[in-house]
Amino acid sequence: MKFTFSNHALEQMKLRRISKAIVESIMENPQEVIKENGHKIYQSIVKMERTNYLIRIFVVHKNNTNLIKTVYRTSKINKYYEGKI
C-alpha cells in the first residue's frame, strides 16, 4: 500500500518514539482496521520497552491517496482493540 506521512504524523512519531519501520509494518499488515469519523485506523499490538502497546495509525483515504494524519501508542489496549487478545 502506498501512503504518505503528514508533518503532524512525523512529529508525533518522533515525540512518541515510534519508528517509521513500525508504522510501515503495521500499514502493510495490520492486526485490525476500524472505521471511525471518516478515518480508517490501522492498529496492531507491539511490544516496546518491555510493554505491550496498541499502535494506532489514523489514515484519510482521499483522491487515491492514503495520508497518515497521526500516530500514537496506548497501553489501554482493551479500550480500543476490538479483536481477541
Residue 85, pLDDT score: 58
Average pLDDT over residues 61-82: 91
Listed as own residue / partner, the contacts of 17-24 with beta carbons closer than 8 Å and 24 or more positions apart are 17/48, 18/55, 18/71, 18/72, 18/73, 22/46, 22/55, 23/55, 23/57, 23/68, 23/71
Every domain of the chain and the residues it spans: 4-80
For residue 76, what pLDDT is reported?
A: 95
**75, pLDDT greater than 70:** yes
User: Which three cell numbers mark 72?
Assistant: 500514537
Fold of 4-80: Nuclear Transport Factor 2; Chain: A, (3.10.450)
Given this model, what pLDDT does residue 20 score?
96
Q: Is the pLDDT of residue 7 over 80?
A: yes
Give the pLDDT band (50/70/90) at residue 47. very high
What is the structure's pLDDT at 52?
96
In the structure, what pLDDT confidence band is assigned to residue 30 with cuts at 50, 70 and 90? very high
